[in-house]
Amino acid sequence: MFDQGRIHLSTRPLHTVHALDVDIPQGRLTAVTGVSGSGKTTLILESLIPALQAKAAGRALPDHVAAVDAPAITRVNTVDATPIGVNVRSTVATYSGMLDDLRRAYAATDAAKQRGLTAADFSYNTGSLRCPRCEGTGQVSLDVQFLPDVDIACPACDGTRYAPAAADIRRPAPANPDEGVSLPELLALTVRQAIEQVGDIRRVRTRLQALIDLGLGYLTLGEETPALSGGEAQRLKLATELTRNQSDTLFVLDEPSVGLHPLDIRTLLDVLQRLGDNGATVIVIEHDLDMIANADYVIDMGPGGGTAGGTVIATGTPGDLSSDSHSVTARYLNRHT
């Protein structure tokens, strides 16, 4: 279990959590479990993460952290299900990083060169091709008397964010080489549809495939990220991490299964497995029994909540935990499996 190394954390008492000495295996999926109030958040979010961040920055450890040792970890990535910003200019294409590549691809077409257009012109935020009515937001506000303002799709661009001139710049596509597709049309396509049109752009194809692998193939490229559900936001945040070596990275997910359908949980487990295949160390703070049963290692806090908790009562594989009579989690895990 610890062949790839370990993260060691020693803490002093904090809140209702006693002094702890914990080892977490590197390159594995670890579930931190226990009843509400047992100390999971204090252990991971209030102790481990701040300690690793302080050590990486050369700062003093938090007062309640006696020591932390994680020689291979240089990056900590906390992935939660909070919405991705509130800016309507943030879309699936911009957040995933593919729009920059797409703008360069469209600027390289003959039609764009003949008009003297560069990649900057294809930006719907500041470019010359953005819709002048909505200024690239895709929507306008109506001032309704006695009522709050109402946002509607921009009547000038039909919500595409671009002026009509952008429709004249069409890029030949593998699925449609004769007619091609314009950038506004492309942003209206789903991820699955778009990969057929721009699959010849390697970096874009890689990002689109990552979204498909995460079960997000139904999203449109121009979909606003603030409108995504918590589960969608969580997976979109992970999408950019799937194609790189993660042996120096710790990912922490706090209750990632909340609100997810069992099929979505299966997809999430597949994603976490791919991160592990790339060398990542992953910690999930969890109550969901499917997530716990599929972890490599479990740290069970308890035995109760509040003053009745605050200690590590069991560690090991899910199979090890199931035979521990002191663990409340083990009792339910046995019924589940």
What are the pLDDT digits (tens) for 85-115?
777 789 999 999 899 999 999 999 999 999 9
User: What mean pLDDT, rounded, does the chain reach?
Assistant: 88
Whether the pLDDT of residue 160 is over 80: the answer is yes
**Residue 30: predicted pLDDT:** 96
What's phi and psi for 284, nearest 5 deg? -120, 130
Domains of the chain: 26-42+71-82+230-336 (3.40.50.300), 92-226 (1.20.1580.10)
**Contact assessment for residue 135 and residue 219, using Cβ atoms and an 8 Å cutoff:** no
pLDDT value for 146: 65
Give backbone dihedrals phi and psi of 141, rounded to 5 degrees, phi first: -100, 135
Segment 52-64 shows an average pLDDT of: 90
Place of tokens 């003949």: 114
| pLDDT per residue as tens digits for the range 290-316 | 899 999 999 999 888 888 888 899 899
Are 188 and 249 within 8 A, CB to CB? no
Name the β-bridge partners of 30. Answer: 283, 297
Confidence class of residue 19 from pLDDT cuts 50, 70 and 90?
very high
Tokens of 211: 């979204």
Mean pLDDT of 16-41: 92
* pTM for the model: 0.79
Mean pLDDT, residues 167-185: 86
Closest C-alpha among 2, 45, 54, 41 to residue 24: 2
CA distance linking residue 15 with residue 137, whole number of Å: 46
Comparing CA positions, the residue from 313, 312, 320 lying closest to residue 295 is: 320
**Closest to 68 (Cα-Cα) out of 7, 114, 128, 113:** 7
